Structure 1
């Protein structure tokens, strides 16, 4: 097998995907394109397995290139159009095409081939999407773009079915949207420039860094993102690609082009952000997470705490949803109720918008199993929609991984194939963020080509094959590393695109403005105060509250009732509850508390502050009385506790009663809904399966129908040509079937047969005719039975002659064929033959009556005619002469002196050698009685139409014998 190193790396392969309505688009495309040097084409269609594909012969009429079906394992050659045969999928590896049988319930041949094409050809791969329904090809064009290839899509207005073009265009990564006839010209224009080319950013070129910096600065102004710390080779390769497409020769010209065409900046920005993503990429890695990583995390986690996962660089969300599905499968298998929170972040807002919708093309069936599609997705039109309960577990947010602060207390960080695009300084920055984010013994999940580099002392390999690392907390402070210089300087923004209830961003802090004079005055002059949210979490502290707050060992608590002294917790909780329900200010006087052995008292004031998230905040103020004894008895702790308990008991009883009634109602409703839901699910699955099958069959039938329509059009044209040809030949022709019934006839046949259009289908024996041919029906049956030709010359009633030819009629159908009867008028030929015969007879009579002996010989020297005088002289009759040649030794030809004559000196030999003059010789022959007869012979050559000798005419007469008589 060939290896990639031995292939022509400049070979460009154009993959063309089409489905329903694609035949017309393909014909338009190939009608407008000539062979391009170093370019080959592979056409992949949705074909019905039950019908023979006519695509090669239909396209062969539209192009000068060779068109043929793919043969398994054949090498791709330039200038050839390869067609996928039915019942197969197609892949490409090492420059060769391989066929595999199609799976019965999954038919995405375009996606499958485009992915293998992208991996095999890289930047020399071109993907074209033409008319079709569904979304096959959408994932494939993304793969082609990820590997630096080119993508063209048919514009929706020109497509018979716009499903596939619309789905591909929605990715936002298509290079050209054109009608098929214009695609050909664009591809020819780009054909040479897109193949392996000289670098447009020479490494030692003067001003290289200045020009590159200018291009990146234009992108930064447009997008707010600085790509100066991305790997230079990757950035330059993407820029060079856009330069080739726009036919710009130098970096300086491209920088000027960007200034004049701001839209190109957005396209280049998109080129920088294209990432590799799909559902369950490297499925074995997800199996490893489910079997090894998740057990470790859940064994070490409090069941009441949520599992927190961060997917950095989530792109369009496939990675995040894949992890969500994997965790949910583990929770269901182990009957766990742990809450799951996945933070999925990226800097590409368009990709985040797609991820937030959670709707993906039907082609994801190639990545996610049918079981997962059924449980975690539902079909909505032409897309698979993620189930709501999975969607709520994933929070998509814009987040600049380099500049914005990382998420805290993360159990698993997934960042795959992002570090490979960053320079080492940014890699260290990102890894330091992950180190800060991860909880002790958390996990880091990287791409197959990535490593932790200098952080090997904190990230230990857990599963080397799948790049899973375990974080080891060494006890040192974990703060993200700063980046100097041109870091990604986008304005900090934390927009939660899809935050579910309870996951909103944190409320603004009162001191967000910095350490202002007002803040310092408040903290100095205000009594000890805690600003808490409605959820009782502390938001800010004013003054010295150390006397009232007591921090405990263990995980830090944010609930104000958990951090105040035990003596203050119950009255504070009661005050907070009343303030939340009733609003206004709640005063609790003389609350006693102890510091060591010392007993003190304090007034607790809870004020409700309007506004803000969740209905505002609560201010908890601790006011110490000047004379503690005045308030020692003001607040009876025991009575307060009793009152509080009674309130809680009444509230609990009311809640229990309501809850019980609600539970009973819900149980009844749930049972009914569950039964209905099961029925609906079963019906929906059946309908969905039936709909998918019908849709697939419909696409295949549309393709077959288009091929047949084209074939019918060709057959109609051929039939018209045949009718006109038969009418112009004036040859009577009748087509008969196996039963000798008329199938078709020409107008010339009505001269001899009394036949009209309504006679089609009648036996020929039912028709009368003018021929004197009683053996006609017997001959027809003889030809039909023996499968042989037969010719007869027959006359009609008017004396006209016809050549009747009876031929077996071969048919490609299973009808047994038939007989073809043709009648050619040969009356003129017969008249000419009669005239020639009469002339011949007259000539013979003349020659026979001539006293001069005359013979005629053919080109081989055989005597074809001798008159009576010749018979008399030679003493041989005509029948015997016809078996001899004029030079034959049986005549014992001698010269007139009795000497033998050499063959080259014989009369006909002389004529054949000279060919252009009359021969006069004297030779002797022995007569029938043995007597020597001396003859004077005159020979004239006879020429054919090309001037070659084809015979001769010899005249001879006896002359005196010059030889002396022989003595015994």
Structure 2
């Protein structure tokens, strides 16, 4: 059971509640009803008391942190404008501001509020009646009630300035912190109000109906950490009402005494309504949470609050939810999860035992972040083997609403920001409202309601991860939980606790594995099955039922009982201890030699041994550990019941558990007591003096040996301490060196940040250019009356024009789909292969195709080239040629027009052989068509221009269309004629260029006709 996980927003309160024990007015008693989830009824103002609490006129003020973003300025104006000037609180506004522009927010807010508004500065203390506004391009924190500014471009301040300030406010002010989240986009502020609620503070959020951009307040409300959800005007009214409550004006609520009798009545009401007993939890935490509820209900006496609990069952549930503090997150203390990968997972992972299931328990899982973190760490460790390893992760809690959120596994962006980019992309899926844990991870975790103190535990577990749960319990309840964990773990099992938790210095149930990460292993000691109290609504688990013993179990018990009798009657008393001298097992009757010592209970051998045996035991155990063999100390004197007895101590190393030292300590019992010696040497009987002197000398020698052993141990300890001191000094020097390196790294980071700022501005300019280019491209595609389709290298649709939608049967959602999945309205045989050929040959292809309506199109496929001349796809252009295919007269008319045209039109193949010659060419150059065919194109070009002519034909061979060029030509009379012309390539039905059409005109005849400047080909 997690004692204090998460708190949900409260239900809407009525305008006036006659069941209120003091007949008070609700907190949300504004002119309009409160929004859903706005909070409980206001409480407990006595007759004649002002509706608004008066803040004390001494001591530091209560600090209210306000986070806002888009649409937040009007909300902040409305909130501050409805606050009285004497409210006695200080306000800090963290508004998302443009980093490159000066802000006039301070002047804007000053016009709307009677409070004093100023820009937050470094080292400025927060004063009552003042509003401090975050400056642009800075991050804001607070320590000791004093504001501190930080550069926004530091790694930890790049995002979520509201979360950063509210977290710092929660750490600095504790229960005196108040958090408000107003209109804005994103989820900034969610983690901040969560920290304030965990620390005992009070939280507000703007309702969605009044928020221009409700994302930020909606995210905060969904986290369950908001006390009041209402418009800014009502937030101001509620702040004014709670301003003078004692809860907010004592740094620790324990300073206000609460009646123990009334406190017990509250706990009984909780147990009656919820079935959960909080009597063994830390009283300070319970008092703080009760006083928080009293402040929200405007009640100052605990007796009045008890009457409210009896009158309103909903308030009992709200108090119960308030006791469930959600202190969780993904990969808290990342080094602990790394320790799991190195110290725990290798030991518990099945090795060649595919049939064994890996079982893990996460009690107090809250909203599931801890359980999913363990699952992710385990999957990262297993790699590809996780599919062959059966895994069960049991995650339990007493908060059923938190478990519902854990099963859904959807978390806002502010929560998953603590994850690395690799984990986020591998184990999470982007969904509306944030990120959801991947289904493969969710399937490993089983979420169920369970009270780990009252309900039966799981069994045969490999790992229990219970972090930051025991810190809220009293020592008695902590020990009970540890016994439950020990019973639930398998013999090889491990326990991981929180950084502030421990199993106790004298615990004999667990052995330390990693002190830093608080990982323990189960000791091989027997613990009884935990007693299950069976709280309300908690049926017993099948694992906790007792079964009748089988014949094998009966035989084993009889053998054990007979062995115990033989040990008691014949074997010498013995104990088994570990290297820490903690007794693990008692054998025989050890009462005369070992007994509990006064004070705190302990199983340490040195603390429990008889006073006369402590020194010889220490020496024998030290020698046995050093020699790793049996050591015997004979003639050890021990006084018991007034008689002096001699016995022998034997210490024998046990090697059943390699790597861990265990020793058997045997007490050889004396046959008869030794008569006490006379007090003075002269009073001894005659003949006994020599024996007495010998005994004294022996005792003196034994004492000297013991003292020498202690001295040797002390010398060894001093040497170890000296070595440790040298190591600490060395570590200190290394830390100083590391600090210098960090300083250098800081300077480098600052330089890098400046470079990044410059690059960012360049990227902004490029983004603007890109947006304009995209706009031009969209307008161009919409304006072209051609069917054009662009595809990628893997034949996925990239863009298309409106005409292409009709012709190819496309819709807007087809962008990104494979072209082969589309059924166009055009007959396109082997289109995919044709596109691949174009990409391979890096040249265009043409083809005549017909649609289902009988219309003909000339399809041209060209490579799609980037600015770097890389081919990343293809462009398909459909030109309507139906008129040419269906009307031969039209073709003949066009041919007649070309033949009778004034410009010289020459058709030549790629070798220069003239194929056709119109009348304009005859008039320009003087040759008839037959004469020109005999001379070829090279007879019209002066010898000095042959190279330029070859270059022109090569461009046409590549399929390029030359729109304008100037050249020189030889006429029949031998004159040089300067011409301006254009040329287009001609293709056969397969798309190959086989000839070129040149249209040329005499430049002198053009007179004033503007000719574009071009390089001569």
TM-score by length of 1: 0.48
Structure index of larger Rg: 1
TM-score by length of 2: 0.46
